[in-house]
Structure 1
């Protein structure tokens, strides 16, 4: 059995919804499609689909194989594209993931210009506050905050993200200015989270170590924008990225507190799966994003060395 051909047929059967539709799209004979599917089931020793006269459904094992086979076939397609990348202009669908706030305020506004420069590219921007799986979720390029575990992914550092704790002058005049992180337990804290519970804010303990402080929040919101507005209205003390609050801090709408205890900033990286880095559309977007942010300096720390690590 040609396993690659059988997986291709299996994926086509699932995508089209029937053996006959898969046979027409390949093109192949219905007998050949049925034979390859049966051979695949014998090879794995399990039933992959349940068949009736009216419908076809995946078994649990079939769903597992479909997900992995789809990724394998897509990876092979990307390798083919990468090998011919030097002869191609950027084109095709580009899937990008980014943290919600950065994606909405800093990535989305520059996409119109990117699409004007590369009219053969279409962009699918996913705004998610979690670490995506580039292969499983079919993401070409991802922006991720934080120190990265060792992996086969290619990274390109963009900036450093510093988190600051701040509050409105009206709130601090009413409740006092905390002098140490431990004093936050006496304050109304505004916390970013999708799941209310006990939050943890990290502070510098000494030159080499950080300390985690449990926070009993007065207000939970899964939007940093909304938290910042609540802080400006005097609802309490908030912890947000410095670049987001920079204007309010400069204008006096917010006051930075516990600055001596701020931990080291977290890096912001671009992540690529190695075979996709060579794709013209991926490389074009990475270079475009770096060039735009070098000019605008959105994080407030001028960098002239946005280079590969």
Structure 2
């Protein structure tokens, strides 16, 4: 592949041969062997010189990535992953990204300084493969079977607000009472997520809420709630640190849905590069080993905070 790429780049068998220290006969023999292996002509000759066939052009365009991975694999085997190089593309929800994924990336780069990250924080569900990204972190169920999913942890939506909001407006006792509260609503693809789901009498139910603020930015939504502007319904990982720090207080705890998994996704239709596989394994261990604020949401501390403001 290296030989073929050099021939295409120089436009000459003899020029490429001189750079590689090979005779014209040796170059012709290797090119012929490649064409026999692939079962198709790769180059065509004319009075203007050499040009690629459609098969040759496809090989040229895709071979550099393969050669890069071979070199990365060599470095990883010979010297560990400290020599990983290249770019990793990630997308994840905004609030999760700011609170956790940015620190995850910092930790990985500290061990692999040759890796560059391209990160898109978005609360929209992006087609990360079409966007040229390698990894997506998503909440909830995963309907696309072409994706490979690695679980990162358990999560569940939590209704919460600031102590100041509870002082002024009181707490809803049932999901239906949310209708009389100012609920801050997340937008997804310009569609308001204004049906909040809970457990009631052993069954999952939903209630349509209303409020005076909507945004597609989960971070801003959380800041509004911390400022006492209303109630929010967000994942436990996203609000767990605020609850532990008493910035937010969970409500309707007896009605929360059971926990569901959130995952790291990769494209199952292609083989992972060495650097992406290394990052995926690193991310799984990072989330597994870190102290999860969401685990403490139903601890006595939260219950005490709620009682104290009612």
State the match for 1:199 in structure 2.
194
Matching residue within 223, 237, 253 for 1:229: 223
Q: Is 1:245–2:239 an aligned residue pair? A: yes
Match of 1:189, SS state, is coil
In structure 2, relative to structure 1, the CA distance for the partners of 1:196 and 1:132 (3 Å cut) is: closer
TM-score (ref. length: structure 2) = 0.66
- The alpha carbon displacement at 1:125 in A equals 1.3
In structure 2, relative to structure 1, the CA distance for the partners of 1:152 and 1:196 (3 Å cut) is: closer
Matching residue within 149, 152, 163 for 1:169: 163
- The alpha carbon displacement at 1:141 in A equals 1.6
State the match for 1:189 in structure 2.
183
In structure 2, relative to structure 1, the CA distance for the partners of 1:187 and 1:300 (3 Å cut) is: closer
Indicate conservation of the 8 Å contact 1:81/1:279, yes or no.
Answer: no
Q: Is 1:103–2:106 an aligned residue pair? A: no
Match of 2:228, SS state, is coil
Matching residue within 284, 288, 292 for 2:282: 288
Match of 2:207, SS state, is strand
- The alpha carbon displacement at 1:27 in A equals 11
Matching residue within 83, 86, 93 for 1:92: 86
In structure 2, relative to structure 1, the CA distance for the partners of 1:226 and 1:33 (3 Å cut) is: farther
Match of 1:218, SS state, is coil
Q: Distance in 2 between matches of 1:170 and 1:96?
A: 37
Give unmatched runs, 5+ long, in structure 2: 1-42, 77-83, 297-310
Q: CA RMSD in A?
A: 3.8
Matching residue within 258, 264, 274 for 2:268: 274
In structure 2, relative to structure 1, the CA distance for the partners of 1:117 and 1:282 (3 Å cut) is: same
- The alpha carbon displacement at 1:280 in A equals 1.0
Q: Distance in 1 between matches of 2:221 and 2:251?
A: 16
In structure 2, relative to structure 1, the CA distance for the partners of 1:151 and 1:106 (3 Å cut) is: same
- The alpha carbon displacement at 1:164 in A equals 0.9
Q: Deviations over 1:28-63 (max 9, x none)?
A: 9898999979xxxxxxxxxxxxxxxxxxxxxxxxxx
Match of 1:212, SS state, is strand
Matching residue within 107, 131, 135 for 1:137: 131
Q: Deviations over 1:124-158 (max 9, x none)?
A: 11212233334322221221111001412211101
Q: Distance in 2 between matches of 1:27 and 1:116?
A: 48
Indicate conservation of the 8 Å contact 1:82/1:275, yes or no.
Answer: no
TM-score (ref. length: structure 1) = 0.66
Give unmatched runs, 5+ long, in structure 1: 1-25, 38-68, 303-309
- The alpha carbon displacement at 1:261 in A equals 1.3
In structure 2, relative to structure 1, the CA distance for the partners of 1:93 and 1:216 (3 Å cut) is: same
Q: Distance in 2 between matches of 1:264 and 1:146?
A: 11
- Choose 1 or 2 for highest CA Rg: 2
In structure 2, relative to structure 1, the CA distance for the partners of 1:100 and 1:277 (3 Å cut) is: farther
Runs of at least 4 residues off by over 6 Å: 26-37, 79-85
Match of 1:239, SS state, is strand
Indicate conservation of the 8 Å contact 2:183/2:212, yes or no.
Answer: yes
In structure 2, relative to structure 1, the CA distance for the partners of 1:224 and 1:133 (3 Å cut) is: closer
Count of residue correspondences: 246
